[in-house]
Structure 1
């Protein structure tokens, strides 16, 4: 039986989604990027919080509502402090909340750029011929699985498709045309490379 190398890919989106908004300065629909800054407005016991966005062309501002007319007692002190100090992690989490953005503005531009950190799981004592990848996503991404694998493994998407058709590439959880759909948290991709002459180069590119 061929040995397997198991590798975890921690995938981090590089560019936050950009809502498409009618800019009253530019006079048309423009993309707005997250500034990473919150606006906190306190009126007595009520607090309003917005994440500030800026037009990519003219820097006009747009406020994405986080809390509206919220009672101060309903906000944890640590969360309020993070909002007031423009905590980068908190701003990033809200900036990548594609569902909330779509609910607010409808049209949102997404980007497939990601950073991938690769970590070997366990020891590999002999030359492996089976590659097992486990995906961990910090946040959802629109990047298709076949593009992710092709970019990181250095092989073509058509070759990935051929491997899948021969049942040498198996995706769990499996689904129709999974290769052509976005990569998802918790996916496992198992590739049998025993018959591939460049299997060592592919496993090396995978992080093994």
Structure 2
């Protein structure tokens, strides 16, 4: 495919996953939201750290364990300072760790909404007839690749599927039903638009 417009998409999820917990105040299973605050408990040289969650209805708290009975000397000073100061970036990283959350509670509510920062790589030629999209993910997201592309490019999912079947859309690394799986770090999508009448509109929407 010649005349490619190469664009990097930096993708960041907007809404942190919410554990579903049996709230002893509400008397039923409720979603809990991350407060962005850590609880650090020191007992001599041993430290326990939790990330505090709150019930969306009654504000009841639940503690998500981060460190348990950890020797203070084994914690990097910068990390310990970040925990003690409720560093927002560190809290966000733990709040979006859906694998760790599931290991604690089993059921987790996930959200597909993301922010996409688009960066053109090199000069975009006016004669560009295709796209190369390079995905960079801040962290895992449950958003399917076809939904991401449809929302950002203004192309229906059925049209994307048809383009994939005709090999006008290729996902690298390839996999079975790649469009229907969540977007992943390092994925590259190449789309041949040479015969598409709305080619320039699609390239513009992509960030080219």
TM band (smaller chain) = over 0.9
Residue equivalent to 1:163 = 163
Give the deviation of 1:28 after TM superposition: 0.4
Question: Which 4+ runs in 1 deviate beyond 6 A?
Answer: none
Contact map agreement 2:135 2:188 (CA 8 A) in 1: yes
Q: After the TM superposition, which residues 30-109 of structure 1 pair with which residues of structure 2 at under 5 Å, given as runs?
A: 30-109=30-109
**In 2, Cα distance between the equivalents of 1:44 and 1:199?**
65
Match of 1:148 in 2: 148
1:127 deviation in Å?
1.7
Tell me which residue corresponds to 2:189.
Answer: 189
Q: Number of matched residues?
A: 208
User: Larger deviation: 122-131 or 86-95?
Assistant: 122-131
Distance 1:90 1:47, change over 3 A: same
Is residue 23 of structure 2 the alignment partner of residue 23 of structure 1? Answer: yes
Alignment check: 8 A CA contact 2:169 2:191 kept: yes
Deviation at 1:46, TM superposition (A): 0.7
Equivalent positions of 1:105-144 (< 5 A) are 105-144=105-144
Please give the per-residue CA displacement for 1:58-94, whole angstroms capped at 9, x wherever unaligned: 1100000001111111111111100000000000000
For the residues of structure 2 that align with 1:16 and 1:126, how far apart are their CA atoms?
Answer: 39
Three-state SS of the structure 1 residue aligned to 2:124 is coil
Measure the CA separation in 1 of the matches of 2:98 and 2:62. Answer: 16
Q: TM-score, normalised by structure 1?
A: 0.99
**Unaligned runs of at least 5 residues, structure 2:** none
Supply the distance in 2 between the matched residues of 1:205 and 1:38 (Cα, whole angstroms).
Answer: 40
Unpaired runs of at least 5, structure 1: none
TM-score for the superposition, normalised by structure 2: 0.99
Task: Indicate if the aligned counterparts of 1:47 and 1:72 stay in contact, CA closer than 8 A.
Answer: yes
Quick one: distance in 1 between partners of 2:31 and 2:181? Answer: 25
1:126 to partner: Cα distance: 3.5
